[in-house]
Structure 1
Amino acid sequence: MLLGAWPLGGKNSLAPTKSGKGRLLALIGVYSVFIILGAAIFSSIEAPKMADLAENIQALRAKFTKQNKCLNDEDLEAFLTEVVKANDRGISPLRNASNELNWGFGQALFFASTVVTTIGYGRVTPLSQTGKIFCMIYATIGIPLTLVLLTAVVERLLLPANWLLGKLNAKLGHLYQPFNIRLMHLSIIILIIAILFFMIPTVVFANIEPSWGMLDAFYYCFISLTTIGLGDYIPGEGVTQENRSLYKICITIYLVCGLIAMMLALTVFYDIPQLNLGQLFTESSGGESEKLRLSGSSAPCYSGPSGLYIPQRDEEVRRAVVRIRPHGDESPSPDEPLPPTTQKDAIP
């Protein structure tokens, strides 16, 4: 347990036993090594595959040029360049292509949602200068607005989540430690999210998208809901996709709801002090204790209706105490001046 590394008694217990700055530097070093190691592994796995694809396309081009000797190589290069540009803009050069253009309403709605949620697949981008300017203005307003919306919805969802935690405490509190109950609560939340936003959508996408397998569909869900947004797999991009606008609208709703679910899971995760590793790297300043550590490990709690277990900040507890403090004549508030008779009696 992380809390076991900190002294719990005495005046000096407010100071960490090890420099927060040193731990932060160590974390930066480990993170840098992690990035470099990941790059090396990705390169070793993907570089041979890319080399094979490049070799195959060059061989195919050489074969095509050889079979069509009257075709100039420069003309072929110019033609392929235009084909690639058109394909990137949603215009398929294939004969049986029947899908809508990228900037139909459904696709535009899908693009707007990927902008404000910062998923940003990158497959569809504004073409005009006016569109690029509007995209920047739209993102500047839309990203904070989206964060406010997601946060507000997560706050509402925490009510049933905390209700579930209260039920677990009431049923299992005499059998397990609070930390174990919090882990059980987190596992239930994650399991529900995994079923609703990963397993079920994986099956749906694998059946709707003709070229996707189960792994491809799950990969898309993971990359999207973690806001990585690589853009290598995007649903509804097939040249024969029917009802593309409606399909894109449904995907937009899925992405927004999925991001809310991910934020809920992270909130429940970081509400467990022992799992909040960020508190280890917050250094105290001016002799004060680490605020994040203290707020996570020693914040008072109260039981609400049905045994609801809700952590509270010191300020919230103070206000609660003030609200329930009696204000009769026999116990005046310390914040209020004494009545004239009491002041007179107090003077010798």
Structure 2
Amino acid sequence: MRLVVPGCVHDARGIPALRIFVLVCAMALYLTMGASVFQAIEAPLERELEEKMAQIKMDFLRDHPCVSDDDLELLLNEVVRASNRGVSASRNVSGGPNWSFGQSLFFSSTVVTTIGYGHVTPLSKPGKLFCMMYALLGIPLTLVLLTALVERLLQPATAMLRALNASLGHLYRPFTIRLVHLMIIVTSLVVSFLVIPATIFAALEPDWDFLDSFYYCFISLTTIGLGDYIPGDSPGQEYRPLYKVATTFYLLIGLTFLMLTLTVFYDIPQLNLSTVFSSVKLDEDPEKMRLSGSGVMGPGYGIGGLVMRDDYNHHDQRRSVVHIRPHLDDSPSPEDTTPVHARDMRVH
């Protein structure tokens, strides 16, 4: 029997409509704020570049009176159209063929990981058809692979959490220990997959500074993939195919570690804001929740994921260890890796 608070309408899944409305308004406000900031920062530079290009065009027409403005416009349109499809019209800009094996492998990885830079696209209709079929099978396969790799990485991550609890449990609250554990994982991610790769890219790419390289790493690992910076496309790039293959492996490994970091983050109830807008109740039966697919990472995981598969098969068993009893509003002990939604807790 569900208690309905007057003035708070619930939908079929039990999520308060007011919460959904607040979330939609917050998202709209965030998008509006982002649009305003981007417009304020980028619009002046865009106008400056437009004026510069207009001046270059006028200078060219003045120095070449035999060329008409319409003919120049037709040429520029063709150049822009080819550039948008990954083909450069300048002999000094092209970094080599776009469909060598290394480049093709790099393109395939951006498709199945949904990064999708967009700087190189299939030109033929058979290529476009194959790209759709390839992505249809490749994206789920990539998700399965990344999930399996994260599951493996969760074992040492959980062992680290238990070690921290064993050494610091008598000094700090479980929530503090989980934050320390999260900070270690985040620091490892930033250093190993953002700072170090950005330093390498800045050294290998002649036109990139450290900020450009760091920006590329962040945009790629978050699968945003704007395509404004692409490694290995500089003129005269040495070992370009090998460079593309190495970048492909970097992206796959980096995405795996990013998923691990998000899993550890979502396992901390105080930081998992999605539960505020979820119909999942903390007193739900864990087996029922598992079968209904509520786990983020699939079977064998809780809401956050720091749960081994055996915990579902033997959830009635208790480990013979001494647990630190947390406060009611605190995180569960790091030793207790039972899913958040399966614990016998009540939110007041």
TM-score range (shorter-chain normalised) is: 0.7 to 0.9
* Aligned counterpart, 1:74: 70
Matching residue within 34, 39, 52 for 1:43: 39
TM-score, L = length of structure 1: 0.78
TM-score, L = length of structure 2: 0.78
Q: What's the RMSD between the two structures over aligned residues?
A: 3.4
Are positions 1:87 and 2:113 aligned together? no
C-alpha distance in structure 2 between counterparts of 1:75 and 1:315, whole Å: 67
Are positions 1:309 and 2:335 aligned together? yes
Q: Is the 8 A contact 1:302 1:312 kept in 2?
A: no
Matches within 5 A, 1:179-258: 179-258=175-254
C-alpha distance in structure 1 between counterparts of 2:218 and 2:319, whole Å: 36
Q: Is the 8 A contact 1:96 1:240 kept in 2?
A: no
Q: Is the 8 A contact 1:303 1:309 kept in 2?
A: no
Q: CA deviation at 1:83?
A: 2.5
Q: CA deviation at 1:171?
A: 0.5
Matching residue within 117, 124, 139 for 2:113: 117
The percentage of aligned residue pairs carrying the same residue is 50
Q: Is the 8 A contact 1:182 1:272 kept in 2?
A: yes
Are positions 1:261 and 2:270 aligned together? no
C-alpha distance in structure 2 between counterparts of 1:155 and 1:43, whole Å: 42
Q: CA deviation at 1:228?
A: 0.7
What's the CA shift string for 1:231-256, capped at 9, x where partnerless? Answer: 11111111221211111111100001
* Aligned counterpart, 2:27: 31
C-alpha distance 25-240 of structure 1, shift in aligned 2 (>3 A):
same
C-alpha distance in structure 2 between counterparts of 1:182 and 1:195, whole Å: 20
Q: Is the 8 A contact 2:303 2:341 kept in 1?
A: no
Name the amino acid aligned to 2:44: P
Matching residue within 159, 162, 165 for 1:163: 159
Q: Is the 8 A contact 1:92 1:239 kept in 2?
A: no
Q: CA deviation at 1:296?
A: 6.0
Q: Is the 8 A contact 2:303 2:339 kept in 1?
A: no
Corresponding residue pairs, total: 303
* Aligned counterpart, 2:327: none
C-alpha distance in structure 2 between counterparts of 1:215 and 1:143, whole Å: 30
Matches within 5 A, 1:304-343: 309=335, 311-312=337-338
Name the amino acid aligned to 1:121: Y
Q: Is the 8 A contact 1:99 1:242 kept in 2?
A: no
C-alpha distance in structure 1 between counterparts of 2:52 and 2:173, whole Å: 60
- Considering Cα pairs closer than 8 Å and 6+ residues apart, tell me whether 1 or 2 has the greater RCO: 1
The structure with the larger Rg is: 1
Matching residue within 173, 176, 191 for 1:177: 173
Name the amino acid aligned to 2:221: L
Answer with 80-89 or 60-69: which moved more: 80-89
SS for the counterpart of 2:90 is coil
C-alpha distance in structure 2 between counterparts of 1:161 and 1:304, whole Å: 21
Which one has the bigger helix percentage? Answer: 1
Q: CA deviation at 1:71?
A: 1.1
Q: CA deviation at 1:78?
A: 2.2
Name the amino acid aligned to 1:56: K
C-alpha distance in structure 2 between counterparts of 1:101 and 1:188, whole Å: 42
Structure 1: segments with no counterpart, 5+ residues: 1-10, 318-348
What's the CA shift string for 1:309-348, capped at 9, x where partnerless? Answer: 352359999xxxxxxxxxxxxxxxxxxxxxxxxxxxxxxx
C-alpha distance in structure 2 between counterparts of 1:69 and 1:314, whole Å: 75
Q: CA deviation at 1:131?
A: 0.8
C-alpha distance 303-296 of structure 1, shift in aligned 2 (>3 A):
farther
C-alpha distance in structure 2 between counterparts of 1:185 and 1:25, whole Å: 34
SS for the counterpart of 2:247 is helix
C-alpha distance 69-313 of structure 1, shift in aligned 2 (>3 A):
closer
